[in-house]
Structure 1
Amino acid sequence: MSLISCIPRCRVITIKRFHTHGAAVIGNIDGLDRADLTTAQLMKKVKPFIWPKSDVPEASRIKLTVMKTGALIFGAKGLSLAIPIFWKDLVNTLTAIEAGNIPSLENVAVISAPFAAYAAVSLLEPTVDQYKSYTFATVKQSTTRKIGRGLVEKLFSLDHRFHTNRETGALLKAVDRGNRAISTVLHATCIVFTPAMFQLACTGAFIWHFCGPLYAGSLLLSSGLYTAFSVKFTQYRTPYRIAMNKADMDAGNLATDSLLNYETVKYFANEKYEATRYDGKLANFEQAALKTDRTLALLNMGQQAILGSCLLFNLGMASGILDFGQASIAAQTMSLGEFVMIASYFQQIQRPLSFLGSTYRDLVQARTDFETMWRLMEEQPELGEGTRTLSMDQDLEVRFNNVRFAYGDGNQILNGIDFSIRPGERVAIVGGSGSGKSTLAKLLFRFYDPQEGSVQVNGEDIRDYNLKSFRERIGVVPQDCVLFNDTIYNNIRYGNLNATEEQIIEAAKVADLHRSVEEMNFGYDTIVGERGVKLSGGEKQRLAIARCFLKDPEIVIYDEATSSLDSLTEQRILSSLDKATENKSLLVIAHRLSTIVNSDKIIVLKDGKVAEMGNHAELLALNNHYRKMWDIQSNEKDTSKKVSENDGAEARRRKSIAMIMEPKTCCGGKC
């Protein structure tokens, strides 16, 4: 059984998965679920990246590089194996010269050949060995890049439900460790294990040939003991390493969460509290890391004891101190050169065996991390995807047909929703918090599928359409706009990566953002900060509107998109958007009823159902839910206006009193 096949089935980090019925499969990023990926399966998954099929771009170049690397690996080991033999010949020649067995006139000529051979091999071996690493770096980095890109593509293909139930910090750390695990796996298998096994077998054969089976058996026995000890002790250490990784992940998650909520921490002056919480996590990591480091030291001590004992035993036999009837110096059945060769081979084999031990430890962890990453790669989207496409010149009519939907917690959000959005029609959705307004937008964009009923476009279930072609026709301005940590220009451009500078600026003007940007020191090159923290709430929403306008979709969803804007700016933007979205279908999710009075259709949601439907005048005439909402908001507006007028009158009164009491006003400052 090879050393690689001894790697235990390690516990790994798994990711939450959800089935179509919404129930979560138990599992989170805590490192407690078992892996079932064998080493052979692991290498099978990596193989297509190292030895790609012929139809893969640059397949020939990659294969040539791999073959070149393989030749260099075995070439370097061959040269390494030759060094002790040439060293033996050189020592025997020097011994013969010292004993006077060679005429003095021939000394230089006799010593030149073994010295030249030894010098040439000694100089060439490290050069070939390092060039091997130079060549293999291309294969390793290319493989890491391809798998990393594939992982990112996979993560973006997974459903909204998957991402809303993830632990961001833990997931990112798992991805990062998985990428690093690829390099470790490739290095361990191609650079360490395979050449080491080759070197060990050849060394045993050479020692058997030159010195006899007892020496070769001693070498193989010590190698077996070293391997068995390394495997068993590493298995013993694995739980400590897993506990350390979990503690590290917990500390990272807490730090990420605290920093993302930086403003909240400041609002409540809880800096010391957060530092104490983080220190508690670090204390857990410290204890786990201490156990890991201490057991590592014990492992190294045991490995060195085995190798040292083996070397001393063989040197004792070679010198004749230990007599088992073998060839030895004392029995004059072994030359000094052969003694030196044995010592050289045993010292030489210590290096790959030491690497085997440390690399084995790394490979155990790498396999754990790789398993986690590959589980992500094999994660399947909950939402299926059809093959139908929407032509760009096709008008879109949307219909919600008896839609029923509940999130994973089982709480029913929508209970039989029926309505349609005709091409060019402006439809508004209103209702209380939790009534399902934003859920309708998510269903239309197909972040989720309804449990019952269907969402249809032009009479076809949207599940029959290709997701990309369908989503390209829909634009969304979300209630909470999250921006990339990039420039304002690039954040707007994200709506249409092929847009010109003129189109981007025009989009900013439509969203009433251009003037604010021009007043900034760096204009459109201003970095918005992580999640857009350097912009105000209103600026972020205006940028989101500009980005949506630049996309130029057929259907536009406004999810309370002007909720953070003042009334004057809101009216300017709505006026511009009315012109910009002419002949487009609009689904407006609104809180302020004053923003949707001109809608063709207003739908009032209550308890997950359509309570009322009609235009503004029709709903007011019903004198029911919509009328009550309208009256409440109108009263709030009137109250706000009166408060503003009273505040203005009070301010004018205070100003008049101040003017009367000012000395220079009443008597020119003489009183």
Structure 2
Amino acid sequence: MTRSSHPSGHADRPAPPPPRSTLQTIVSLLPYLWPTGNPGARIRVATALLFMLASKLATVYVPVIYGRIIDALAPKDAAATAFVVPLALILAYGAIRVGSAGFGEMRDALFAPVQQRAVRLLALRTFRHLHAVSLRFHLDRQTGGLSRVIDRGVLGMQSVLRLAVFNVVPTVLELVLVTVIIWHMFDWRYAVVTFTAVLVYVGFTAILAGRRSRYRRTMNDTDNDASTKSLDSLINYETVKYFGNEEHESQRYDHALARYERAAVRVQVSLNAMNLGQAMITATGLTLIMLLAASGMRDGSMTVGKFVVVNTYLIQLYQPLNFLGVVYMTIKQGLVDMEQMFALLRVPREITDQPGATALAAHLSDGAAGDVLFQGVRFGYQSNRTILKGIDFIVPAGGKLAIVGPTGAGKSTISRLLFRFYDVTDGRILIDGQDIRSVTQDSLRATIGVVPQDTVLFNDTIRYNIGYGCPGASQNQIEQAARTAQVHDFVAQLPDGYDTRVGERGLKLSGGEKQRVAIARTILKDPRILILDEATSALDSRTEQDIQAALRAVANRRTTLVIAHRLSTIVDADEIIVLRDGEIAERGTHLALLAKAGLYARMWTLQAAEHDLEPAT
């Protein structure tokens, strides 16, 4: 999906990692094929390579045996050999062909677990890395495009491993062996023609494939664009309907598909040109070898069996070369796709644990809450635009602080800094006296529970979404959290109960139902510190009162930060700070701020007129 626009979307950020060469991509892949600390995998790879060598040795020896059989069965030698020699040669021929196929199959069977594990480890590493990079990166990227990069990278790795190990390397080995054998059995002219034809073939293919790879990159980019537009439009189905923009979305999608169509046609036409050139090179090589062989037959230097051998070798060698263009392009494209995935792995982790970082420790003996201190905090999403300008406040353990202010004042930025989606530019944030930059991110985020304003649920069951707050929680624990969040009765009335699927991003539930599920999820997490970011904004007044009572119960003996727009929800806060232009304009209790008749009082008066609240006095 397309991430919503945010100030950080225009933030100063590191330049994207430069593309790497094909050789660098291959080198990056090698550790997955020869993993350290896994001797079993290394033994499998080494044994598979031995079987590959045995398979190719058997393959290149087949034409030799075949030629000897033909010479042995020739009329001039039939009397001398009787039936013994041809029979032995025929049996040897059959055994070698079986060995060639058998060694190849054993090679594949041995290498398959190594290949699949390498693919799995690389995909998992990429997935974990995407969760480890900063929020800034994800706000700048489109999730649909990222998922396509990972999917293609995994498929590309499978293609490279399958074709490079089982096709290209054996073909190169076979070429060397065939050249040596032809030189030994005939003379240097046959070897030179064979080797030269193959080199010209490979060089021609590499040049054409290099051009085609550029077309493929363009096709990939347009494919990403089309996929992203499709996914974005379908995710925002309701918005499309609200504005009657189905035709507009279709035109955007068709425009992306048209660009993909043009790129795909160029790829196909270039493939046809490459195949034609390869056929001409192959035919020229075969013709020259046939002319040499025919000349040898005339002067008596070549027997019928040797004539068959040299032609069999060429046909046997050109058979895999016929697919070299497709193989080369597939490998080249696989390397391009892999490079895109490796590029994701090279995206720096903006927020990292310091060396020797320790877990956040609870200073209270029961670990029930933690005090939060913002000390001279300054922060900006851009170096030339400061959002927070020296924020100072403290929330004692078990206390409740509310943060209010106009849109863009920096309220949500405070919660992001506390959760350490970003690091402060200046100043520091402490929990129980510990700078959050000196503790591990896992322990910090395990301490904090967030109920966001924009609740997004997984396309799974209600049970899964509530249980996400504590994976492995029992059904009783899930139901208890749902009761506290005032959502259990609603779920119990559904035909499938807790097994009800909520749809993409929870669209099958109303806004209030989604928020109550989110509240239940946070309740189940049982954090020491709560951040409520407009947690009841989508609820009606009656439900809001019920949820506020539930949240007060949950917040008991927990440190709570409330980011609020509705001032009626924070009148019981121990302290309220009013932000304006990144600074604390006012602070105090609800009554004290009303008595000041300042910014907070004016905000209260405006909302009182809208919602019939008690006016400021």
Counterpart residue type for residue 352 of structure 1: P
Alignment CA distance shift 1:44-1:498 (3 Å): same
Match of residue 11 from structure 1: none
| Partners of 1:459 and 1:234 in 2: CA distance | 61
SS of 1:528's equivalent in the other structure is coil
Match of residue 362 from structure 1: 330
TM-superposed deviation, 1:410 = 4.3
Match of residue 265 from structure 1: 240
Match of residue 4 from structure 2: none
Tell me which of 31, 35, 40 is aligned to 2:19. Answer: 35
SS of 2:387's equivalent in the other structure is strand
The answer to whether residue 562 in structure 2 is matched with residue 588 in structure 1 is yes
Tell me which of 414, 427, 444 is aligned to 1:440. Answer: 414
Tell me which of 359, 371, 379 is aligned to 2:339. Answer: 371
| Partners of 1:142 and 1:355 in 2: CA distance | 27
Report if aligned partners of 2:19, 2:343 keep a CA contact under 8 Å in 1: no
Report if aligned partners of 1:192, 1:355 keep a CA contact under 8 Å in 2: no
| Partners of 1:25 and 1:592 in 2: CA distance | 38
| Partners of 1:246 and 1:63 in 2: CA distance | 37
The answer to whether residue 361 in structure 2 is matched with residue 391 in structure 1 is yes
Alignment CA distance shift 1:47-1:468 (3 Å): same
Match of residue 24 from structure 1: 13
The answer to whether residue 207 in structure 2 is matched with residue 232 in structure 1 is yes
Tell me which of 361, 373, 378 is aligned to 1:404. Answer: 378
Report if aligned partners of 2:462, 2:498 keep a CA contact under 8 Å in 1: yes
Deviations 1:242-298 (A, max 9, x none): 222222122112112211211111112221221122112111111111111001011
SS of 1:175's equivalent in the other structure is helix
Greater mean alpha carbon deviation, residues 190-199 or residues 616-625: 190-199
| Partners of 1:180 and 1:569 in 2: CA distance | 49
Match of residue 194 from structure 1: 169
Tell me which of 562, 565, 572 is aligned to 2:536. Answer: 562
Match of residue 343 from structure 1: 311
TM-superposed deviation, 1:467 = 0.8
| Partners of 2:213 and 2:524 in 1: CA distance | 53
| Partners of 1:542 and 1:557 in 2: CA distance | 15
| Partners of 1:50 and 1:285 in 2: CA distance | 34
Identity of aligned residues (%): 39
What aligned pairs does 1:629-644 form with structure 2 within 5 A after superposition?
Answer: 629-638=603-612
SS of 2:576's equivalent in the other structure is strand
SS of 1:45's equivalent in the other structure is helix
Tell me which of 39, 53, 60 is aligned to 1:60. Answer: 39
Counterpart residue type for residue 562 of structure 2: V
The answer to whether residue 559 in structure 2 is matched with residue 599 in structure 1 is no
| Partners of 1:110 and 1:82 in 2: CA distance | 17
Match of residue 28 from structure 2: 45
Deviations 1:201-239 (A, max 9, x none): 110111111111110111011011111111112223232
TM-superposed deviation, 1:408 = 3.4
The answer to whether residue 70 in structure 2 is matched with residue 91 in structure 1 is yes
TM-superposed deviation, 1:192 = 2.2
TM-superposed deviation, 1:422 = 0.5
Report if aligned partners of 2:375, 2:391 keep a CA contact under 8 Å in 1: yes
Report if aligned partners of 1:222, 1:306 keep a CA contact under 8 Å in 2: yes
Tell me which of 116, 124, 136 is aligned to 1:141. Answer: 116
Tell me which of 360, 385, 391 is aligned to 1:417. Answer: 391
What aligned pairs does 1:145-224 form with structure 2 within 5 A after superposition?
Answer: 145-224=120-199
| Partners of 1:456 and 1:466 in 2: CA distance | 13
| Partners of 1:126 and 1:498 in 2: CA distance | 49
Alignment CA distance shift 1:428-1:639 (3 Å): closer
Report if aligned partners of 2:607, 2:613 keep a CA contact under 8 Å in 1: no
Q: Which runs of 5+ in 2 are unaligned?
A: 1-6
SS of 2:402's equivalent in the other structure is strand
Match of residue 425 from structure 2: 451
Match of residue 503 from structure 1: 477
> If the length of structure 2 is used for normalisation, what is the TM-score?
0.94
The answer to whether residue 98 in structure 2 is matched with residue 119 in structure 1 is no
Report if aligned partners of 1:79, 1:121 keep a CA contact under 8 Å in 2: yes
Counterpart residue type for residue 479 of structure 2: I
| Partners of 2:114 and 2:276 in 1: CA distance | 35
SS of 2:83's equivalent in the other structure is helix
Counterpart residue type for residue 391 of structure 1: A
Deviations 1:503-530 (A, max 9, x none): 1100000000001101111000011111
Counterpart residue type for residue 555 of structure 2: T
| Partners of 1:184 and 1:218 in 2: CA distance | 31
Report if aligned partners of 1:35, 1:368 keep a CA contact under 8 Å in 2: no
Deviations 1:612-644 (A, max 9, x none): 11111111111111111112212212399xxxx
TM-superposed deviation, 1:78 = 1.0
TM-superposed deviation, 1:25 = 4.1
Report if aligned partners of 1:428, 1:588 keep a CA contact under 8 Å in 2: yes
Counterpart residue type for residue 437 of structure 1: K
Counterpart residue type for residue 166 of structure 2: I
> If the length of structure 1 is used for normalisation, what is the TM-score?
0.86
Deviations 1:128-163 (A, max 9, x none): 323322322211111000111111111111111111
Match of residue 475 from structure 1: 449
SS of 1:475's equivalent in the other structure is strand
Greater mean alpha carbon deviation, residues 533-542 or residues 411-420: 411-420
| Partners of 2:323 and 2:227 in 1: CA distance | 31
SS of 2:571's equivalent in the other structure is coil
SS of 2:84's equivalent in the other structure is helix
TM-superposed deviation, 1:590 = 1.1
Report if aligned partners of 2:205, 2:278 keep a CA contact under 8 Å in 1: yes
Largest Rg, 1 or 2 = 1
SS of 1:170's equivalent in the other structure is helix
TM-superposed deviation, 1:37 = 3.1
CA RMSD of aligned residues (A): 2.1
Report if aligned partners of 1:402, 1:452 keep a CA contact under 8 Å in 2: yes
TM-superposed deviation, 1:411 = 3.8
SS of 1:412's equivalent in the other structure is coil
| Partners of 2:65 and 2:423 in 1: CA distance | 74
The answer to whether residue 316 in structure 2 is matched with residue 332 in structure 1 is no
SS of 1:24's equivalent in the other structure is coil
What aligned pairs does 1:485-634 form with structure 2 within 5 A after superposition?
Answer: 485-634=459-608
Q: Which runs of 5+ in 1 are unaligned?
A: 1-17, 28-32, 321-327, 641-671
Greater mean alpha carbon deviation, residues 193-202 or residues 584-593: 193-202
Match of residue 77 from structure 1: 56
TM-superposed deviation, 1:561 = 0.4
What aligned pairs does 1:103-114 form with structure 2 within 5 A after superposition?
Answer: 103=79, 107-114=82-89
What aligned pairs does 1:298-337 form with structure 2 within 5 A after superposition?
Answer: 298-320=273-295, 328-337=296-305
| Partners of 2:208 and 2:352 in 1: CA distance | 46
| Partners of 1:24 and 1:384 in 2: CA distance | 15
TM-superposed deviation, 1:565 = 0.6
TM-superposed deviation, 1:35 = 2.4
SS of 1:403's equivalent in the other structure is strand
Deviations 1:397-444 (A, max 9, x none): 111112222223844322221111100001111111111111111111
TM-superposed deviation, 1:22 = 4.4
| Partners of 2:128 and 2:221 in 1: CA distance | 26
| Partners of 1:192 and 1:447 in 2: CA distance | 47
Tell me which of 348, 351, 364 is aligned to 1:380. Answer: 348
| Partners of 2:269 and 2:487 in 1: CA distance | 59
| Partners of 2:559 and 2:284 in 1: CA distance | 82
